[in-house]
Structure 1
């Protein structure tokens, strides 16, 4: 595979905007038919967007967090499933940036610049909680490892060239093993049946004694031994997807009202778009969307500031800013996607129009991790300056 190499932040946003417009056209049909976006992902890879966080020293654009968030917001406004697929890709690029050896970085950054995709095999089902990882990375006599376990919610794995697998080694610490999609003993099962984000293929990954060379394993646990932005960046992209879904739902509601809705007979106006009560509702919804986008930008700038001067304090400020953006964007996405029907009227509920995909995508994606815990950390930080904990979900 060959891929374009994006030069800078401005080009990255411009490319994302073009792709979002292209992906928007087929989003409804892909969702209703559960047609997996293989061609769209190939186009995303070829565009160079998946390599925009490769460091400049390795030939990448190394874009700002603010740019990366805007890329995801644009993609989310077009297709809430498609935008979710590369979220883990960028999270595991960050692991390489943080914990990779020079040789590992040289190899994987070249893979990214060539358009290769990372999936994920992180979460597990039936364990005590989300951090109870039971997949094992056992040493083999030749210095390599054997990987055994079952993963669920493995977004992007079906489409990936490399699948980063979160596992515990002999010392019970968390490591990430980067495994080729076609590795013997690795099986990806397309069994995702969520009500929303239907085309993310967030299914099951089975690992039955998969052989992994030692130089494809990174010590992820070290990421959290000091100030870090791993969780903040990952959550920033989730917030951007939600903000995008909200903007996409609002835009589609406005188009529907302008072109398909009838005015209420008591309004005394000729078109639904002239109804002052509808105008008021759209104004309120637009305020929510704008507020979410503003918090997203503020959070991204906090991440960029922390990257430039990473301390416990700057990392905490970034994490809290991202948590605020994520809470508000999630609430807004669900609210606006639901209000779409109220402002559009009965016809908007027709299954054939598939306008409910925005709400289904928002409702599904916002279940990724509970906002109530983010609010707790925001509250403690506001009340007495308690820094949030170091983990990948904040």
Structure 2
């Protein structure tokens, strides 16, 4: 039997609410720092001060600035003994608070003289100047960044507590490029991604591939439409529950949401633009709720030109950041070029006819 859309489309807000109902965050896990990038920080440890004591920032002579007042090339200051030499990163000797360059001290046998003054802190990295004591290793509820990992590694942290989702993506034959795009986006966002492929496009083959044994979210890619060879939503109904199919969303109209037992399922269309729009509008909020992520950053800028939209359908707009304004690239229908160029996306609610040029709008960044 051919898969069909219902006579009326489900509002996006209704479908999303059904998808998120009863969804609780996954338990935190400890991952080696090398695997934690992009994952959502959970209960991050408090770091010790780094460096733990004053260290040399450059190679040179360790001295006390108070002992060098008046020293110059014209009036060298003799020293009772040769100063200590330090390499960058060495702990500062007791009583020393500055590091002078090699040429600032002359040695002649046991005699030493200084040819320049110094100031306290010159050539020195103070204790805690890189990382203050009790600094958290990342902000709880936000993705672990490369900078967070650098700080954690310097502080000697080997593992971090994070929430990392196990995402299973079932590729329905014929949508391979789109499935690979979604998998790449998910991995870049720190998810643990497993990809499967249905044996064929028929309902039984797709249903057999719907494996939720080791995942927190299941996505299908392709076969969600009403073509003669589309059967992904029928396969979901066969194995579990379809909560909504046919959304008042453009692109993304043929997406579906459902459940396989306790596991949330989103059926993404095979077309790249429709799949990406459904990912942004449906899958990201689901991932955020499962990972206890805090609200995503939005950037408010005026529109460089108007966005026109039809009432009754939520339309997704792609934007580029140009001259301190949002320039609309595509609304409702997206080209691959617009997808590649987009810096942000904006959801135009179904109740709106769009936005006039110059209107400030809050857009979500494509890459945080």
TM-score range, shorter chain: under 0.3
For normalisation by structure 1, the TM-score amounts to 0.21
For normalisation by structure 2, the TM-score amounts to 0.22
Give the structure with the higher percent strand: 2
Give the structure with the higher percent helix: 1
